[in-house]
């Protein structure tokens, strides 16, 4: 079952969160799903408030575009406009769209260190994502109260009524952790969640059996 959710971890949570403000985040061909992070970033907003003394920024009804990636939110706060060392908070109808997927949440927090995304956390009621699995032509989906991407640990963690589907099979639990390097899904680690884990395995679609041969009625 862990292997069946391999594409899910890469395809959706990581892709969408890493693509948010993707400048220098990773080279082309990585978890960004082909997004060229060398492209310029275009930022549009209904209004902005720059506090140079405090080095803080506030944007309202913001839209950030880089190539085919787009991020929108009702409000965005940042501790700086550079990505060397800054914190970004997106609030209200947050949507991150990449060429192959989409993530939606009520809020998202992104941390940058040395021009790299160090941590990303999306929260919602629930936060959700979806991604088209090109190798199988299926739509992968997931949702949870929070979706967290830890870059140093290289893991994606879904917490709070978490649900994952690879387009065919499903897994539910309060806590689901996807380890990208080990290609493993941990559900209810340390057995702390009373609800345990619920897995639904749906049979693959098989061709219909051929019709029975027609027999003439006996005279």
pLDDT one-digit tens code per residue, 169-187: 899 999 988 776 776 778 8
d(CA 128, CA 87): 22
User: Has residue 209 been placed in a domain?
Assistant: no
CATH number of the domain where residue 158 is located? 2.60.450.10
Residue 162 in tokens: 């978490």
Residue 208 domain-assigned (yes or no): no
Structural domain that includes position 140: 3-200
- What's the total number of domains in the chain? 1
Q: How would residue 8 be classed by pLDDT, with cut points 50, 70 and 90?
A: very low
Q: CB-based contacts of 13: which residues, under 8 Å, 6+ apart?
A: 103, 129, 142, 147, 149, 156, 158, 178
pLDDT tens figures, 52-82: 888 789 999 999 887 787 889 999 998 876 6
Upper half-sphere CA count for residue 108 (Cβ side, 13 Å): 29
In a domain, 212, yes or no: no
């Amino acid at each position: 079952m862990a292997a069946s959710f391999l594409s899910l971890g890469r395809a959706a949570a990581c892709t969408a969160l890493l693509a948010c403000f993707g400048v220098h985040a990773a080279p082309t061909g990585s978890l960004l799903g082909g997004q060229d992070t060398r492209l310029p970033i275009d930022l549009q907003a209904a209004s902005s408030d720059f506090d140079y003394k405090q080095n803080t920024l506030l944007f309202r009804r913001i839209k950030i575009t880089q190539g085919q990636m787009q991020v929108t939110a009702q409000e965005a706060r940042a501790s700086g406009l550079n990505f060397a060392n800054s914190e970004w908070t997106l609030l209200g109808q947050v949507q991150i769209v990449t060429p192959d997927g989409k993530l939606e949440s009520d809020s998202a927090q992104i941390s940058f260190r040395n021009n790299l995304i160090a941590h990303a956390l999306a929260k919602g009621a629930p936060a959700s994502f979806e991604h088209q699995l090109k190798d199988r032509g299926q739509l992968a989906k997931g949702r949870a109260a929070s979706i967290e991407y830890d870059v140093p640990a290289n893991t994606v963690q879904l917490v709070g009524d978490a649900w994952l589907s690879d387009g065919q099979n499903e897994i539910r639990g309060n806590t689901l952790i996807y380890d990208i390097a080990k290609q493993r899904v941990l559900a209810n680690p340390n057995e702390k969640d009373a609800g345990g884990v619920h897995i639904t395995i749906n049979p693959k679609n098989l061709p219909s059996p051929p019709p029975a041969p027609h027999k003439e009625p006996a005279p």
